[in-house]
Structure 1
Amino acid sequence: MNKKIFSVIIGLSCCFSACSDWVDVKTKGSLVPEETENYRYLMNNTENFRWTLSYHDVASDDIDISDPAQQEAIYETNKFIPVYTWADEIYSQSENDTEMNKVYQVIYNCNVVIDEVMDSKNGTNEEKLEIRAEALVHRAEAYLTLVNVYGVPYNAATASTDQGVPLLTTPRVEGALPRASVEKVYEQIFKDLDDAFEYLPDVAEFNFYPGKCAIYALRARAYLLMGNYTEAKKNAQEALKLKSTLENLNDYVDLASTEESVRRKNYVETLKDKEVIFAKMPVTTFSMASYSTAGLVLSDNLLNTFDQEKDLRYFYFTRSMIDDLGMTYSGRVYFKDNYYPYDWKKNEGRNMGPCVPEMMLIEAECWAREGNTTESMNIVNKLREYRYVAGEDYSLSAATAKEALGNVLQERRRELTCHGLRWMDQRRLANDPDFPTQTVTRIFKGTTYTLEPGAVRYTFPMGEKYLEENPEIGQIK
């Protein structure tokens, strides 16, 4: 008896029925593939491909909601609470994991294109290969994120047997759904990126589309998470050869003004952000514009790493809930999502995909791990120049490789706050000899929760509904 693919895939018809507003997409099965341009229209619709996971930001040690009044105000039905407290169960047997659903829908859409576009009509072979390549890169990004949230952290010695995530590479909706090993998932990620490379431009015209730069960047991120610093550095450098522009925060801030809209100007929308290499939007946003009780309140542990007088990232991207927002809750929230209205038509919202600063910091970390403190600090300081108040001293120095690595890791944490990467860093650094992940403790509504380095809850649990429908997935314990 064939099993239905878990509810991640159920309802995918809505993905394609929604497309009827802009193109008549015809796919295999009861319908026959036709025009190549249909697949181009499908790839052009950002709603089908732009999503990536975001709840793991809440689980990271960058977030700390310690105000009792705010804790009480968070809705019990909000998944923020079980994620924040590292619960063994996040989604019950009656609930869908909306974040996983959205990302597997991206994968399904990619699989349709990959499986069918080469047989479509009235398009050149070059056009078809480019469309297929774009879908391959989107699929690779989706699996890289999924395996680093729902799979066991990468360990070269055990990756061939460690449990990853279900690996779907064809547009099927029935059949068994076992987890692939972490190694198999990474192999598929690199295969997809390699297969796509030849057919894409160096840099895409719009950062939603992948180019060779995005492929280098995703490889760099993947190799860093694997602990392969040689390949991570090489790919980060190649990405930066193709795109290395930075936004200067001084262009968005006028500290001399008393008018708030001038003191903090709206940030450029994601599609126009010079730093973004491959735009990916969070499924869940935590905007404070509507006075949400479940905002991304930043931990003192993170905030204390900023130079709070000179670092514009502190002034611009974080806001005091009491002093700046007039709320009754204490603490500072990450505020970038609030500088523009969240409008999917404009593809706005904070970027979770690879960006120029991430590539710079990957290269800097790898230089530090090789013992080259000069190269490492030069890169870090080049970035900091664009983040500090003009004319203020921004430079860092390091006398040893260990000191350089510490500087880079702290800069990475400041620069990439709420980009979905801190949780992945906590996973990968669990056994780092110099800067191991620390135990994290939280008190929520009077109960103390503790997350030890390497704990099983560094892997998000699968929804109980999916395990009931497809028990072969299994729960990692």
Structure 2
Amino acid sequence: MKKIICYAIIAFFALSACDDFLDIKPKGVVVPSTLGDFEYLLSEPYVFSRTSNMSAYMTDEITLPDENRGDVRLVGISAIRAYDFEPLFFELDETDSDWENAYKTIYTCNTILSGIDKAENSLGIDRNRIRGEALAHRAFTYLQLVNAYAKHYHPATADTDMGVPMPIKPDINALLPRSSVKEVYGLIESDLLEAAELLPDKGKYNYKPTKSAAYGILARVYLYKADYPNARTYAQKALDANSYLYDYNHDTAWIDPKAKHRGLKNFPNVANDIKDIILYKYQNKAGAYAFTFFMSPELEALYVPGDLRFTLGTTQEDWYGASLKGTGILSSNVFVGNYEYGGIQTNEMYLIRAEANAREGKITDALSDLNAIRVKRFTPETYTDLKASSKEEALQLVLRERRLELAFTGLRLADIKRLNQEGHNIVIKHGKVTLTPDDNRLVMPIANKVLARNPNIKQNPR
């Protein structure tokens, strides 16, 4: 299988300029020609399960103490540059792995979508499912790209705001300019709506998209577009298939309380066994030892006594037991909160449904979703139901819980940008640098290595 994947990708890259490359079979190279071959391509974890989280270093979730800057192993020089909002995060000869990995995924999806109709049948493999998986993965990847490297979707400017290059065919020689934010969102939406019709209700592995995965991504898309009725509709569709929430009161026992990095007792250490994952993706984050970065004092102040998200999700000691100079964030493989996972999970669907309801004045329904989450996040003696007397108050409660529940999952930067469009005036302070809500530096710069390869791509203003 590995040989087929390797040879197939090499072949497609080498032959991508040919319209009929699927009919060319070079000697010594296996070119995908059957549904089984395309299944193998879709099973490559480093292409389809890996996502990015460079944007986390640009948010108000973390802090980077001066004494930790010298340890590049711990932080990473590009992450330090992102935290400092420098004009560029990468030197001229450095690769932006977030960008490169995303377009590798898109290229593979385009390869599959271009060849799937002519592929020979393989026993037990459904052609529609293969097409649906490629569409869902492509849509998810474009959504990540456009929210990192472009302004947030705004109906008044989306058709003129620069999005990202949007190849839909496997041609690495095409030097495409940046499509508009509206065009990128249009492709994402159409891909997902088609995928939802093709995908199965259930899958054997949670890294394989299902109908509920397509619905979950659509719910996020419509939330970002401020289309709250559709956001609620598709969040509901996703929850109809999986509404499971872990009760943190049942997962509080550490294997070794003096070494939290060893993990919790009785909690799955294999992603496919984790019940609240709708679509598995893992974030590629800089960091080492038992934590990835330090929680910002601002975020830490939002947690109240009894909140197990803080108790279970943070550490005051490094891998070797030495005291940290701050509150470290535990990596996901030891914590039920899954800070490393960057795909679609049930808690996000509850929060999307809650936000849509709050914005439409359905206060009881909004609070019902919030309390369904919170009762499983607090110790019984500290838990109380949330209450609100207006939709504005309910919305603020939703946004607060969203920030706590989805911390470090790669969603905060998009939230900052969309909420600032509404006048929430979220200001980010990193050391001596302060970003106001309209600062261009809330959009990631495109690496010079990318611009050098394609002169048709314009840089984001800084």
Structure 2 length as normaliser, TM-score? 0.88
Identify the residue that residue 312 of structure 2 maps to in structure 1: 316
Identify the residue that residue 22 of structure 2 maps to in structure 1: 28
How far, CA to CA, are the matches of 1:33 and 1:313 in structure 2?
Answer: 45
SS of the residue aligned with 1:471?
Answer: coil
1:380 equivalent to 2:370? Answer yes
* Correspondence 1:102-251 to 2 at 5 A: 102-123=101-122, 127-251=126-250
Judging changes above 3 Å, is the alpha-carbon distance between structure 1 residues 258 and 275 closer, same or farther for their aligned structure 2 residues?
A: closer
For residues 16-66 of structure 1, what are the alpha-carbon distances to aligned partners after superposition, in whole Å with 9 as ceiling and x for unaligned?
Answer: 34979xxxxx97274354222111122223233112121111111101123
1:461 equivalent to 2:414? Answer no
Judging changes above 3 Å, is the alpha-carbon distance between structure 1 residues 138 and 217 closer, same or farther for their aligned structure 2 residues?
A: same
How far, CA to CA, are the matches of 1:280 and 1:371 in structure 2?
Answer: 33
**Equivalent of 1:303, from 300, 315, 319?**
300
**Equivalent of 1:414, from 396, 399, 404?**
404
What one-letter code is carried by the residue in structure 2 that aligns with 1:326?
G
Residue 99 of structure 1, CA deviation: 1.5
Identify the residue that residue 349 of structure 2 maps to in structure 1: 359
Deviates more, 1:79-88 or 1:386-395: 386-395
Identify the residue that residue 471 of structure 1 maps to in structure 2: 455
Judging changes above 3 Å, is the alpha-carbon distance between structure 1 residues 258 and 97 closer, same or farther for their aligned structure 2 residues?
A: closer
Judging changes above 3 Å, is the alpha-carbon distance between structure 1 residues 287 and 409 closer, same or farther for their aligned structure 2 residues?
A: farther
Deviates more, 1:177-186 or 1:274-283: 274-283
How far, CA to CA, are the matches of 1:382 and 1:237 in structure 2?
Answer: 15
1:332 equivalent to 2:327? Answer yes
Residue 329 of structure 1, CA deviation: 3.6
Judging changes above 3 Å, is the alpha-carbon distance between structure 1 residues 90 and 15 closer, same or farther for their aligned structure 2 residues?
A: farther
Deviates more, 1:120-129 or 1:143-152: 120-129
For residues 349-397 of structure 1, what are the alpha-carbon distances to aligned partners after superposition, in whole Å with 9 as ceiling and x for unaligned?
Answer: 8210111000000111111111121111111000111111234324211
How far, CA to CA, are the matches of 1:228 and 1:453 in structure 2?
Answer: 22
SS of the residue aligned with 2:126?
Answer: helix
Aligned length: 440
Judging changes above 3 Å, is the alpha-carbon distance between structure 1 residues 413 and 287 closer, same or farther for their aligned structure 2 residues?
A: farther
What one-letter code is carried by the residue in structure 1 that aligns with 2:287?
F
Counterpart contact for 1:288–1:335, Cα < 8 Å? no
What one-letter code is carried by the residue in structure 2 that aligns with 1:63?
I
Residue 255 of structure 1, CA deviation: 8.5
Identity of aligned residues (%): 31
Judging changes above 3 Å, is the alpha-carbon distance between structure 1 residues 29 and 320 closer, same or farther for their aligned structure 2 residues?
A: farther
Judging changes above 3 Å, is the alpha-carbon distance between structure 1 residues 139 and 263 closer, same or farther for their aligned structure 2 residues?
A: closer
Identify the residue that residue 28 of structure 2 maps to in structure 1: none
1:440 equivalent to 2:441? Answer no
How far, CA to CA, are the matches of 1:14 and 1:179 in structure 2?
Answer: 33
Counterpart contact for 1:52–1:280, Cα < 8 Å? yes
How far, CA to CA, are the matches of 1:360 and 1:257 in structure 2?
Answer: 32
Structure 1 length as normaliser, TM-score? 0.86
**Structure 2 residue runs without a partner (length 5+):** 11-15, 26-30
Residue 428 of structure 1, CA deviation: 0.6
How far, CA to CA, are the matches of 2:339 and 2:8 in structure 1?
Answer: 22
What one-letter code is carried by the residue in structure 2 that aligns with 1:440?
I
SS of the residue aligned with 1:73?
Answer: coil
How far, CA to CA, are the matches of 1:15 and 1:52 in structure 2?
Answer: 19
How far, CA to CA, are the matches of 2:385 and 2:339 in structure 1?
Answer: 30
Higher RCO, 1 vs 2 (CA within 8 Å, ≥6 residues apart): 1
How far, CA to CA, are the matches of 2:78 and 2:5 in structure 1?
Answer: 24
SS of the residue aligned with 1:152?
Answer: coil
